[in-house]
């Protein structure tokens, strides 16, 4: 780690740990909790996207986590950690079951099938009202521990999980495993010829990502103290995709940037729900049409624009950083 990176890390830690004390407004703490939780979900979806698939049913796995955990705690009277484990394991188990089948589909077929699966899960929740409370949902979900009733306390709790979840994703992506994922996305045949067991890798990524989503679902349900099918609809999955898309689909930092943007904006524009949705739609369209690389790509282009003059001045001096691999959207 270079000195500069260390300074950045310390600064980030100070900001993340310190800012809840700048204000006593519970609302800001609430936004902080939402950002932490959503960042895990977005980062886990980023893993799937990095392996070349865009899933439109990611919140369905959050639903498995949320309902699994809530029911374990409320119906079986178990402590919350057991609920968290059950929820996470349930999401991972479902992912492990369907993963080997659906991950053989590519591109549009995967998008369509996950879109339909998300609907099926939502409908199943609404229909099995004995267990899940149907479309009314389940109220009065207890917090994980009594002292976590305050938003500020829950923020630190969520932050710890976010650091674990996002850190895990980041570590995975920079490992050899992550490189294999990039190789699979860029050229599946070539990756297979180079000795990467493609399907096994994809399934592993899918299971890990869905387990993280299940964990997020449990944390979220016990925070807002309510689970209902609407929080896990296709629209919510789409929001997670938007977070990844506007930030830039090939970088985890982009996904986090997108999360902060997509969570804060609706909370600040509470009174204008419809305008918000229209704006998100416009952003999504404009990004896909003109800037498929997202905000990260924009930053890179701007930097490239300013550095071009310098590069010309230095004539053919080689750049210090190795060229980033050319990235393309999964087809």
Partner 1 sequence: VFNATILGQVFVNGVSLSAIYILVALGFTLLFGIMRVVNFAHGEFAMLGAFALFHLIKDWHWPWLIALPVGVIGVALASLVLEWLVFRWFYQRMFESMIGLLGLNMMMMFGAVLIWDVHERNIPSVSSDVLMMGDIIVPIDRLIVVVIALAALAGFYLFIRHTRAGLAMRAAAQDLETAETQGVNTRRTYKIAFFVAILLAALAGALWGQIYAVSPFLGERPLLMAFIVVILGGMGSIPGAALGGVLLGFTESFVGTFYGAAWSAFLSFGVVILLLIVRPWGILGTPES
3-state DSSP of the chain:
CCHHHHHHHHHHHHHHHHHHHCCCCHHHHHHHHHHHHHHHHHHHHHHHHHCCCCCCCHHHHHHHHHHHHHHHHHHCCCCHHHHHHHHHHHHHHHHHHHHHHHCCCCHHHHHHHHHHHHHHHHHHHHHCHHHHCHHHCECCCCCCCHHHHCHHHHHHHHHHHHHHHHHHHHHHHHCHHHHHHHHHHHCHHHHHHCCCCHHHHHHHHHHHHHHHHHHHHHHHHHHHCCECHHHHCHHHHHHHHHHHHHHCCCCHHHHHHHHHHHHHHHHHCCCCHHHHHHHHHHHHHHHHHHCCCHHHHHHHHHHHHHHHHHHHHCCCCCCCCCCCCCCCCCC
| Closest distance of CB 187 from partner 1, Å | 16
CA pair distance 170, 252, nearest whole angstrom: 7
User: Residue 98 or residue 163: which is nearer to partner 1 going by CB?
Assistant: 98
Among 123, 190, 269, 311, binds partner 1 (CB under 8 A): 123
Q: Determine if 107 is a binding residue for partner 1 (CB under 8 A).
A: yes
Nearer to partner 1, 89 or 105 (CB): 105
Closest distance of CB 289 from partner 1, Å: 4
Build a one-symbol-per-residue string for 234-253: x at contacts with partner 1 by CB under 8 A, - elsewhere. ----x--xx--x--------
81 binds partner 1 (CB under 8 A): no
- Give the nearest distance from C-beta 293 to partner 1 in angstroms: 11
**252/47 Cα distance (integer angstroms):** 8
| Interface pattern 207-236 for partner 1 (x via CB under 8 A) | ------------------------------
Q: Does 184 sit near partner 1 (CB under 8 A)?
A: no
Using the contact rule CB under 8 A, the part of the chain among 117-125, 145-153, 175-183, 206-214 near partner 1 is 117-125
User: 115: how many CB neighbours lie within 10 A of its CB?
Assistant: 17
Q: Are 171 and 162 spatial neighbours (Cβ–Cβ below 8 Å)?
A: no
- Using CB under 8 A as the binding rule, whether residue 25 contacts partner 1 is answered as no
Question: Is there binding between residue 86 and partner 1 (CB under 8 A)?
Answer: no
The yes or no reply on residue 63 touching partner 1 (CB under 8 A) is: no
Chain centre distance of CA 209? 9
Residue 85 found at the interface with partner 1 (CB under 8 A): no
Q: Mask 292-321, x = binds partner 1 (CB under 8 A)?
A: x-----------------------------
Nearer CB in complex with partner 1: 73/241: 241
Q: Shortest Cβ distance from residue 120 to partner 1 (Å)? A: 5
Which range of residues in 85-93, 97-105, 153-161, 297-305 is near partner 1 by CB under 8 A?
97-105
Q: Which is nearer to partner 1, 211 or 241 (CB)?
A: 241
- Contact pattern for partner 1 over residues 253 through 292, marking x by CB under 8 A: ---------------------xx-xx-xxxxxxxxxxx-x
Tokens of 64: 């498995």
Residue that has been written with the tokens 């990611």 in this structure: 58
- Kindly state whether residue 76 participates in binding partner 1, applying the rule CB under 8 A: no
Positions touching partner 1 (CB under 8 A) are 54, 101-102, 104-105, 107-109, 111-113, 115-117, 119-120, 123-124, 127, 238, 241-242, 245, 274-275, 277-278, 280-290, 292, 329-331
């Amino acid at each position: 780690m270079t000195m500069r990176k260390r300074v950045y890390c310390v600064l980030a830690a100070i900001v993340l740990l310190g800012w809840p004390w700048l204000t006593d407004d519970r609302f800001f703490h609430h936004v902080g909790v939402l950002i932490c939780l959503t960042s895990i979900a977005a980062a886990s979806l980023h893993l799937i996207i990095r392996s070349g698939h865009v899933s439109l049913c990611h919140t369905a796995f959050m639903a498995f986590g949320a309902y699994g955990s809530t029911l374990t705690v409320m119906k079986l009277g178990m402590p919350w950690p057991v609920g968290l484990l059950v929820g996470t394991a349930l999401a991972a188990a479902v992912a492990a079951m369907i993963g080997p089948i659906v991950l053989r589909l590519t591109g549009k077929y995967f998008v369509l099938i996950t879109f339909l699966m998300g609907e099926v899960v939502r409908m199943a929740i609404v229909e099995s009202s004995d267990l899940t409370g149907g479309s009314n949902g389940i109220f009065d979900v207890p917090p994980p521990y009594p002292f976590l009733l305050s938003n500020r306390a829950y923020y630190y709790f969520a932050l710890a999980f976010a650091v674990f979840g996002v850190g895990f994703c980041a570590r995975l992506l920079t490992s050899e495993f992550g490189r294999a994922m990039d190789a699979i996305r860029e050229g599946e045949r070539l990756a297979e010829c180079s000795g990467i067991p493609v399907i096994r890798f994809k399934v592993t990524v899918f299971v890990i990502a869905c387990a993280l989503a299940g964990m997020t679902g449990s944390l979220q349900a016990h925070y807002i103290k309510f689970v209902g099918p609407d929080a896990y609809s296709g629209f919510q999955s789409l929001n997670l995709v938007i977070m990844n898309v506007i930030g830039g689909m090939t970088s985890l930092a982009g996904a986090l940037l997108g999360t902060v943007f997509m969570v804060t904006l609706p909370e600040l524009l509470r009174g204008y729900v419809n305008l918000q949705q229209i704006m998100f739609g416009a952003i999504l369209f404009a990004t896909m049409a003109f800037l498929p690389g997202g905000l990260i790509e924009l930053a890179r282009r701007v930097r490239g624009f300013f550095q071009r003059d310098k590069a010309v001045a230095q004539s053919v001096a080689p750049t210090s950083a190795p060229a980033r691999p050319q990235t393309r959207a999964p087809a």
